[in-house]
Amino acid sequence: RHALRSFRVRPMSRKPPGPMSRILAMLVACASSSLALAPGPPLTPRASEPLLVATSGEADPQYGLLKSFRFDELRISGRQGLPGGKIDAHYSSRYWLVSLMNTHRSLVLRRIRSQLVFNVLVTCLILGARTVGFRPAVPITMHTLLGGFVSLLLVFRTNSAYARFWEARIIWGGVKNTCIDIVLAICANVRPRAPQAAADLVSALQLYPGSLSCQCRAEPPDGNLDPYALCLRMHKAVALAAAEVDASGPDRRDSVGVRLFELQLSRLNGDIDKLADAAGACSRITNTPVPLSYSRHTSRFLTVWLGTLPFVLAGAVGARLTLPCVIVACWLLLGIEELGHLIEQPFEVHSHLGEVRKLKDSESYDVGVPTRSLANNIVLGCQALVDLKEPATPHSPPPAAQELQEA
C-alpha cells in the first residue's frame, strides 16, 4: 500500500499510471512485505509454559537427559535447534522467496537433470528441423486430452508413495510410545522386586531401536542382534522376574502387590509383542515396493508426452518461447514423479545424505523417515527415565495422621 501511495503522489507524468505500472508497484510491495516477514531471532518458551529446567535458567541435573531428549525431538522435526545452535527454517509460505532462490540446490532437480538435458536436446532438434522446412502440423487436442491422464497417474503415484511414508512414521511413533511404556513399567514395578530382570530388560530394550533402524536400512545390526532376538531376550527377562516372585514364598504370592506385579508382567509381554509386530511391519514396507509395471508405464507415458510437447508449442507460442516452456514443464512434471520415487522407500534416508549435504548423524525429514535419529532419540528418552530419581523433598504427614502416629 505504501508503494502504491507513493506512486500516486509522485507520478512521472500527468497521465494516470497504466496497468503494467500498477502490477509492478504491487510486486514491489509484496516483495517488501515478504522481506519484513523474514525469520527473526529464535523464539524462547514463555515463563508460564511447563519446562524441565530450573526457574533460575540453569538446567536441573536431575532432568538433564529429559531436557536433551526434548530438544532432540525438536531438532529432528526441524522446529528447534540444540541449545546455542541454529534453527532450521521450517517450511512455510513465508519462505517462498528463499525456496525459489535455492532451486539450483534442490535434490529433486539434481536427480532429474539427465531427463531435463534429454528433453532440451529433443526440443533443440525439433526447432532446428523447423528452420529447414520440417514443420509437421501436430494438433494440441491430443496433448490436452492426455494431460489429464498424466495428472492422474502422477497423483496416484505420489499418493501411494506418501501412504508408505506415513505408515512408516506411524510405526516408529508406536515403537517410541511402546518403549517409553515398557521403561515406565520397569522403573515403577519390576526394578523394586526383581532388579536383575529389570537390568536385563533395560539392556535389551535400549538395543532394540538401533537394531530396528539397521533392519529398515537393510544393514547388518550392530553386534549381530536381530529385533526378534531382542524381543526374545525381553520375554526371558520377564519370565525371570516372574520366577523371582515365585521364589519369594507361597505366603506373599496371594498379596495384592504380587497380583498387581503379575498384571504388570502380563502387560509387559503384550508391549514386547507390539515391538515384534513393529519389526514385521517395517520389514513389509522395506521388502514390498510399488508395482514396477505401474512405475515403468508412468515414466514412459511422461517421457513420450514431454518429448512430443515441442511440436505443439512451436506452432502455438513460437520458436523463442518453446524451449523455456518445455524446460519449465519438464521440471515440474518430472519433479513430481521423482518425489514419488524418493519417498517410496521411506527408510533410505542414508543413501541421500550426501546429496542433501547432511552429516551422517543429522538425519531429518528431508527425503524420508530418519530412523537413525529416531532410534537415538528413543534410547535417550529411555535412559533419561531409567536414571530419573524421585526428588528427596521431605514432606510432613497430614495433622490427623501425625496425631495417630503419636498416639
Share of the chain above pLDDT 70, in %: 65
Residues 260 and 252: beta-carbon distance below 8 Å: no
- Give the three cell numbers for residue 257: 502387590
Evaluate if residue 189 carries a pLDDT over 90.
Answer: no
Q: What are phi and psi of 49, to 5 degrees?
A: -80, 140
The residue behind cell 531382542 is 230
- What would the grid cell of residue 320 be? 523463442
As a whole number of angstroms, the distance between CA 333 and CA 151 comes to: 9
Task: Please give the Cα distance from 192 to 227 (Å, whole number).
Answer: 27
The one-letter code for the residue type at 68 is: S
d(CA 232, CA 207): 13
Mean pLDDT, residues 156-162: 89
Rounded distance between C-alpha atoms, residue 162 and residue 168, angstroms? 10
The band of 35, judged by pLDDT with boundaries at 50, 70 and 90, is very low
367 or 84, higher pLDDT: 367
- Residues 235-256 have a mean pLDDT of 75
What's this model's pTM, rounded to 2 decimal places? 0.71
Higher-pLDDT residue of 160 and 256 is 160
Q: Which residues contact 81 (CB under 8 A, 6 or more apart)?
A: 42, 74, 75, 87, 88
Cα Dmax for the chain: 115
- Report the distance separating Cα 274 and Cα 197, nearest Å: 20
**Residue 286 buriedness (CB in 10 A; 0-12 / 13-18 / 19+):** middle
The mean pLDDT of 79-89, rounded to a whole number, is: 49
Copy the grid coordinates of residue 337. 514423479
Distance of alpha carbon 217 from alpha carbon 202, whole angstroms: 24
| Model confidence pLDDT, tens digit, residues 266-318 | 999 999 999 999 999 999 998 888 888 888 898 999 999 999 999 888 888 88
What CA–CA distances, in Å, run from 88 to 72, 92, 131, 237, 356? Answer: 13, 12, 50, 42, 14
Q: How confident is the model at residue 136 (pLDDT cuts 50, 70, 90)?
A: confident
> Nine-digit cell at 267?
502387560
- Rounded mean pLDDT of the chain? 75
In terms of Cα–Cα distance, which of 389, 405, 387 is closest to 397? 405
Q: Average pLDDT, stretch 192-212?
A: 91
pLDDT digit string, tens, across residues 14-34: 445 555 555 455 554 544 444
Q: Is the pLDDT of residue 53 over 50?
A: no
More confident residue, 354 or 36: 354
Q: At what angle do helices 256-287 and 195-216 cross, to 10 degrees?
A: 10
Query: What per-residue confidence (pLDDT) applies to 1?
Result: 46
Most confident of 6-20, 86-100, 108-122: 108-122
Identify whether the C-beta of residue 237 lies closer than 8 Å to the C-beta of residue 265: no
- At residue 167, the pLDDT reads 94
Is the per-residue pLDDT at 7 higher than 50?
no
Alpha-carbon gap, residue 127 to 101, rounded angstroms: 30
**CA neighbor of 369 nearest in space, from 340, 353, 348:** 348
CA dist 308 and 316 (Å) reads 14
- Grid cell, residue 88, equals 532450521
Q: Is the Cβ–Cβ distance between 194 and 244 less than 8 Å?
A: yes
89 and 95 Cβ atoms separated by less than 8 Å: yes
